Structure 1
């Protein structure tokens, strides 16, 4: 990778890690909110606090994370990625400062909405920046995904550790600090975010030539599935509708269904997994005072009466997410070696199988569950580079931001409904029904992958 590639990839990795640090710390806070609050009081109406109602609250924030990706994709084609990424980082910091001040669930809901709106612009901005600015795009996507997985694992792990010593509100305030520092870096780092876009609007491999010609495009930027005439985004509602119709006139429609299935599976399995694990042997809370000399425990205020305990389910959850780095790296490298459609078919097929066997294997004991968790962590994230690269293949460079906007509308907007689906099923049905539903999402995406490959 050249200097420009490294600068772009470095910023994208940092911001991507921040987005997912906050995203996946929220389910850890959820386990605390389920215990601390009993009623959600919106003034005109009150609701009990349970998995179903908090699932709706999280769906609101996570849903905006996805819905905002579409206008974010339009904006990135008009004003560039750097400004949106900086605004994203500052907004996420503000949302966690609001959590720090939250007296109850209504304010928590507002904070999650602020987080969702702020974070929503990242994926179209970051992925468009890599696809148009990095020559070694597959490698850039791989490193970008790895950084996201580090954040995905670090968020719950750091939150779990900090909750041993601080109230959840203080933890939320502390987590706001890294995003502020990352925003400063985003403003100061130097790069050309269109360096890999050639004179005719396609991607090319000569860094110097791409840099010189990055500002001109023509109609040859299209793919086999679209006749898009856009060269630098959309300027009006009419162009937005025209470009959207062209995107969905071909294979991108099938890709969009795949990413929706991915989001529903991802959110459905991850949001309540820490709580589900509490009922299995080996995940009983361990009082911190039992692991320390009595004198040290007294000095730190970690007596048995303090209620501070290590929650093994939280660390299993973090480990499952961290090992997803392997999946991201593997998926990113495979996108350069096999047809992405077959990668989608195989990856989502594996997710369907893992959903079917999860509960039976979990009942066998801790060791089998650890192995299964590692496999699930890899499979969850191996599919992401495949569908990200598929979007790049099925869409023109001029509306790449719009394309990724639709992609993450599907992944995180429609996918946010997975939280409500999971919470409702766990409240009124059973975990068995939940995992059967998740298997259905995986199987549908796998079938679409086969259909695309055979085309």
Structure 2
């Protein structure tokens, strides 16, 4: 198998996995209204149940990374696909809110292993890493956009939410079957990967590898990713609600039959779609410029865009749409850069552990901005909210600049783990 075929095989397998993780993730909120009506529970209780499902998605990334190093990323991705689909079958068979809780928790556990396993596979198996990171990100955005669209459409057409949950599970099983016969070399891009990494699950090995990682440049990358997660999660969580309340949305006159549709939702979906172009551009640029310098530039742009929202909110529809489009491009263009930074500053043998920590920062610690954003929007103004987000991006830019300066002046920041070669 030549390199091009290997890259394509890994790209196809990971793109399917990434799109389906977000396909399931973003379809869950569509069921909330139905569950509230059917089971006659409070919003608070159902919110807790859904939160229990989403929590393992971020918190499980670290153990998922350890498992990827121990058992191999392909095996973990296959279990992820089968586990997510089986969890939705549990939802389809649910007759109580407690069974739904079980299904959602199982989904969160299964989904949590994907990002460390999928990105570890790309980083060790793909030669054209930046390009595949780009296509991988595009697939994720497609899943984000198509998941809620498919769920909402099927609920209208089919009616019964249990059947919709079962239908949504089918692509996951198909992808798992496809993955079983996918043929590729998961270590083609690295010479220092030990497939029999038998000690990866031992506590001493975990602590030792973690200590060495966090005494290297990866420590800075981890903090940078956490601030990217704070910006990303805060912006995407509250932007739809902010768009709904803008005066420009009230000026829109919808055609008969469309009165229940929120124009802000379509702007938000458009932002996610344009994010695909950002993913592609960011991935291609990682092959041309150092990841750290790309992070500086994009963090700077994101900080400015957050501040620009303050005056634009009072303007007409066209400026708002243009700003959201530009935001969508850069919000997702940054992701291939931090994914590449992790690959550059970590040994191949611990790539799963490294990406596990990365997505603990992105989805776990980054989720703190949901609480921060709610506090700011509840007690202050929307303008202050965007200032806080701009601050997150500015800190990320400063940390990235500090990393560049440090790397230019020293060479001690490269980790030196047992069985890992120092060159990258």
| In the alignment, structure 1 residue 320 sits paired with structure 2 residue 286 | no
Segment of structure 1 superposing worse, 331-340 or 277-286: 277-286
Q: Any conservation in 2 of the 1:320–1:377 contact (CA below 8 Å)?
A: yes
Q: Which residue of 2 aligns with 1:399?
A: 350
What is the rounded CA distance, in whole Å, between the counterparts of 2:391 and 2:96 in structure 1?
36
Tell me, yes or no, if structure 1 residue 137 matches structure 2 residue 129: yes
Partner of 1:273 in structure 2? 239
1:290 is aligned, of 254, 257, 260, to 257
Alignment partners' CA distance in 2, 1:29 and 1:363: 34
Q: Secondary structure at the match of 1:380?
A: helix
Residue in 2 that maps onto 1:367: 318
1:169 matched to 2:136? The reply is no
| Counterpart contact for 1:269–1:438, Cα < 8 Å | yes
Which deviates more, 129-138 or 156-165?
156-165
Which ranges of structure 1 fall in alignment gaps of 5 or more residues?
A: 42-46, 203-213, 217-230, 292-307
Distance in 2, matches of 1:37 and 1:436, equals 41
TM-score, L = length of structure 2: 0.84
In 2, Cα distance between the equivalents of 1:263 and 1:427? 21
Please give the residue correspondences for 1:37-186 in structure 2 after superposition, counting only pairs within 5 Å.
48=44, 54=47, 59-100=51-92, 109-165=101-157, 169-170=161-162, 171-186=164-179
Moved more, 392-401 or 438-447: 438-447
1:59, 1:420 within 8 Å by CA — same for their partners in 2?
no
CA contact (8 A) 1:391 1:403 kept: yes
TM (norm. structure 1) is 0.79
Distance 1:68 1:188, change over 3 A: same
Counterpart for residue 419 of structure 1: 370
Residue among 226, 230, 254 paired with 1:264:
230
Quote the residue 1:304 is aligned against: none
Equivalent pair of 1:344/1:387 in contact (CA under 8 Å):
yes
Residue aligned with 1:135, SS: coil
Q: Shift of the alpha carbon at 1:395? A: 0.6
- Does the CA-based 8 Å contact 2:39-2:96 persist in structure 1? no
2:15 alignment partner, one of 13, 16, 20: 13
Q: Tell me, yes or no, if the aligned pair for 1:63 and 1:415 is still in contact at 8 Å.
A: no
Distance 1:192 1:392, change over 3 A: same
1:59 and 1:416 in contact (8 A); partners too: no
Equivalent position SS for 2:122: helix
| 1:18–1:179 CA contact under 8 A, matched in 2 | yes
Spell out, residue by residue over 1:84-119, the C-alpha distance to the aligned partner (whole angstroms, 9 max, x if none): 111111222233344445677766554443222111
Aligned mates of 1:427, 1:186 — CA distance in 2: 46
Specify the alignment match of 1:379 in structure 2: 330
1:108–1:6 Cα change, 3 Å: same
Measured on the aligned residues, the alpha-carbon RMSD in Å equals: 3.1
Deviations 1:127-156 (A, max 9, x none): 111111112222221221121122122223
Q: Return 5+ residue gaps in structure 2 as ranges.
A: 407-424
Correspondence 1:248 to 2:214: yes
Q: Distance in 1 between matches of 2:390 and 2:16?
A: 32
Task: Give the helix-richer structure, 1 or 2.
Answer: 2
Match of 2:421 in 1: none
Q: Pick closer, same or farther for the CA change 1:128–1:343 going to 2, 3 Å.
A: same
Q: CA deviation at 1:316?
A: 2.1
Q: 1:286 to 1:29 in 2, by over 3 A?
A: farther
Q: Secondary structure at the match of 1:310?
A: coil
